[in-house]
Amino acid sequence: MLLLGSHISTEGGPNRAIERAVSIGCTAMQIFVKNNMQWFARPFTQEEASAFSQHKLRSKLGVVIAHAGYLINLGVEKTQNHEKSLRSLTEELIRCDQLQIPFLILHPGSHLGAGTTSGIRCVVESLNQIHAEHPNLQVRIALETTAGQGSCLGSSFEELASILDKVSSPERLRICLDTAHVFAAGYDLSSPHGAEKVFQKFDHIVGLQQLCALHINESKASLGSRVDRHENLGQGKIGLEAFRWIMQAEELTSIPKILETPKGKDLAEDLVAMKLLRSFIPNSSLS
Ligand SMILES: [Zn+2]
Ligand SMILES: [Zn+2]
């Protein structure tokens, strides 16, 4: 089954996201498990959780993943926001378990001037603390590749590998690769050969077996600009050849592919982008 979909709004409750995703033919979806610009939310009721996990259309989606809130930063220690980040992330992980979501995608964090080494140490210690305090969580945190804007950690495959290498329970982590972010971070996947080389490099440094999701985004910003601006497919700086290569790459067949590109409420842009991506698969009856 091709696992292709997009980030879907949970307005009206998480169960409504399933209906929106299925209505445009998604076979995979990403959601926020609470308002992404707030630290905390009231817990899901049992009814809300089962309205999602037992939804009659839930089986139409091969996988559902979640994206963590934007305020969370594990990269600086001993601040009020670090305490809040640990609590907020823990609550989101519990919410994922309630909804039976296997992966929570997280930006590793920003060191805010303390330096990469210190930032990575803080991310590692934070992850170790959460894992130690919650040994029975089913959901895994998936660290996302970033564009490297400001002091954001995770813009190089080496930094992500270093976090995986240093945490006490690396088997509880995965990685999500965002095409717009890696391009802005300087990985040129704009040609088929370039894309192949970038994924080979990822495999060599991080390991393709760690990859649990791909964010399929075009970039408004140039190669190496370290600016994180998503654009619709066919209108950005990466170009369609990269996305054709990704859709055809056998080693990526089973990886969920999620769009996070601009769209209106009717999701028309997602519909067009998914049709385009499916058309890249040779002999596809799905296009
Ligand atoms: Zn993200
Ligand atoms: Zn992303």
pLDDT tens, residue by residue, 57-100: 999 999 999 999 999 999 999 889 999 999 999 999 999 999 99
Ligand 2 midpoint to CA 56 (Å) = 28
Write the CA distances from 175 to 61, 153, 211, 268, integer angstroms.
21, 14, 5, 29
Ligand nearest to the CA of 259: 2
Ligand 1 midpoint to CA 231 (Å) = 14
Ligand 1 midpoint to CA 114 (Å) = 22
Q: Judge whether 287 lies within some domain.
A: no
Its pTM stands at 0.97
- What is the Cα–Cα distance from 146 to 127, expressed in whole angstroms? 18
> Within 10 A of 266 (CB to CB), how many other CB atoms are there?
11
Q: Judge whether 165 lies within some domain.
A: yes
Contact by Cβ (8 Å): 211, 174: yes
- What is the Cα–Cα distance from 71 to 221, expressed in whole angstroms? 23
Ligand nearest to the CA of 217: 2
Q: Judge whether 215 lies within some domain.
A: yes
Nearest to 2, CA basis, from 248, 185, 260:
248
Q: Please spell the DSSP secondary structure of 238-262, one letter per residue.
A: S-HHHHHHHHH-GGGTTS-EEE---
Q: Could you tell me which residues come within 8 angstroms of residue 14 by beta carbon, excluding any fewer than 6 positions away?
A: 31, 33, 44, 48, 51, 52, 99
pLDDT of residue 287: 47
Q: Judge whether 285 lies within some domain.
A: no
Ligand nearest to the CA of 213: 2
Residue 277 structure tokens: 């991506």
**pLDDT by position in tens, the chain (length 287):** 899 999 999 999 999 999 999 999 999 999 999 999 999 999 999 999 999 999 999 999 999 999 999 999 999 998 899 999 999 999 999 999 999 999 999 999 999 999 999 999 999 999 999 999 999 999 999 999 999 999 999 999 999 999 999 999 999 999 999 999 999 999 999 999 999 999 999 999 999 999 999 999 999 999 999 999 999 999 999 999 999 999 999 999 999 999 999 999 999 999 999 999 999 998 765 54
Q: Judge whether 88 lies within some domain.
A: yes
Ligand 1 midpoint to CA 254 (Å) = 20
Q: Which domain holds residue 246?
A: 4-279
Ligand nearest to the CA of 105: 1
Q: How far apart are the first and last CA of the chain?
A: 13
Place of tokens 């920003």: 110
pLDDT of residue 214: 99
Ligand nearest to the CA of 230: 2
Ligand 1 midpoint to CA 283 (Å) = 32
Q: Judge whether 140 lies within some domain.
A: yes
CATH number at residue 273: 3.20.20.150
| 3 state SS of 63 | strand
Ligand nearest to the CA of 177: 2
Q: Please spell the DSSP secondary structure of 271-285, one letter per residue.
A: HHHHHHHHHTSTT-S
Ligand 2 midpoint to CA 142 (Å) = 11
Q: Three-state secondary structure along 135-182?
A: CCCCCEEEEECCCCCCCEECCCHHHHHHHHHHCCCHHHEEEEEEHHHH
pLDDT of residue 33: 98
| 3 state SS of 67 | strand
Place of tokens 């817990």: 43
Q: Judge whether 100 lies within some domain.
A: yes
Ligand 2 midpoint to CA 125 (Å) = 24
Ligand 1 midpoint to CA 259 (Å) = 11
Which residue type does 51 have?
A: A
Q: Please spell the DSSP secondary structure of 209-221, one letter per residue.
A: GGEEEEE--EESS
Long-range contacts (CB closer than 8 Å, 24 or more residues apart) made by 244-251:
244/192, 244/280, 245/189, 245/192, 245/195, 245/196, 246/179, 246/195, 246/214, 246/216, 247/277, 247/278, 247/280, 247/281, 248/280, 248/281, 248/282, 249/195, 249/196, 249/199, 251/199, 251/203, 251/208
Number of domains the chain contains: 1
Ligand 1 midpoint to CA 123 (Å) = 16
Q: Could you tell me which residues come within 8 angstroms of residue 127 by beta carbon, excluding any fewer than 6 positions away?
A: 74, 141, 163, 167, 173
What rounded mean pLDDT belongs to the chain?
Answer: 97
Q: Judge whether 286 lies within some domain.
A: no
Ligand 2 midpoint to CA 227 (Å) = 13
